[in-house]
Amino acid sequence: MSEKKVWFITGASSGLGRALAEEVLAQGFRVVATARKPEVLQDLADKYPDAARVLKLDVTNLRNVKSAVANAVKEFGRIDVVVNNAGYGLVGAIEEANDEKVKQQFDTNVFGVLNVTREVLPVLREQQTGHVVNIGSLVGFTAFPAFGIYSATKFALEGLSEALAAETTAFGIRTTIVEPGAFHTGFSERSVTIADNRLPEVYPVTDEMLGAFSYYDSEATGDPRKAAKIIVEAVESENPPFRLPLGQDAFDAIDAKIEQIKQEIAPWRERASRTAFDAAATA
């Protein structure tokens, strides 16, 4: 049993986190599945008594994070793969989002990831091996109106992940940021909150975004079980990717954003790149 990798997954109660926990266990690995309401994961512990452990974890509570990581190591002796999946989305235009809601969004989606990652890094460094998987989003690469605050948290994960990869590769630690498109995870039912200061006449796009979730959570979108298989395959590959889009919509949107950036900066490249001091001023 000792040679089987240990996956530590946050936000495993539903959606992609749940699908990933089930897939990892089905492939014979061990899992520490965490959630704010761990009782919803008890069936996994019952089905895999030797390989699954269920822990209560609120990623915004640092004491809770420290306890969960310590208990995971106590149970299995190590942690090999950390999946920062816990998070939710705030819907609303930038002007509609009040400070409290914005802070709560960042506390979970950004500082929650920092809490877990910083607590587990000493374990991975001591092992000289490990993999951090941050669940980002398509909207962490290209932002949508009425989803700007959520997008901002996922953009933050992109930067954190890039820096983390550069800082820790010398310790045998890999980093992957997953960028899913639309998947049938029940995200809008369980993981969405709405801005308080609604201005529907000014920003009808908020209602449009809320209406679009009926599609995003339909079976016309991605299958989270297939996404889970790809994530495990990527982690287990000889050269794990740093960036892992999931779904054709994610690839299409990323390609379009890259092309848009090229077109936006091209007209100004010649003038805006000439910012060095003039030779006379330097002399």
Q: Is residue 91 part of a domain?
A: yes
Residue ranges for the chain with pLDDT beneath 50: 1-2
Q: Is residue 204 part of a domain?
A: yes
Q: Is residue 169 part of a domain?
A: yes
pLDDT at 146: 96
The residues assigned a catalytic role are: 150
Q: Is residue 209 part of a domain?
A: yes
Q: Is residue 182 part of a domain?
A: yes
Q: Is residue 271 part of a domain?
A: no
Cα separations (Å) of 253 from 203, 248, 270, 280?
A: 23, 9, 28, 46
pTM: 0.94
Q: Is residue 89 part of a domain?
A: yes
Helix or strand holding residue 179 (H, E) = strand 173-180
Domain count, the chain: 1
pLDDT digits (tens, 9 = 90+) for 86-137: 999 999 999 999 999 999 999 999 999 999 999 999 999 999 999 999 999 9
CATH number for 233: 3.40.50.720
The boundaries of the domain holding residue 104 are 6-251
Instruction: Write b or e for each residue in 196-216: b if 16 or more Cβ atoms lie within 10 A of its Cβ, otherwise e.
Output: eeeeeeebebbeebeebbeeb
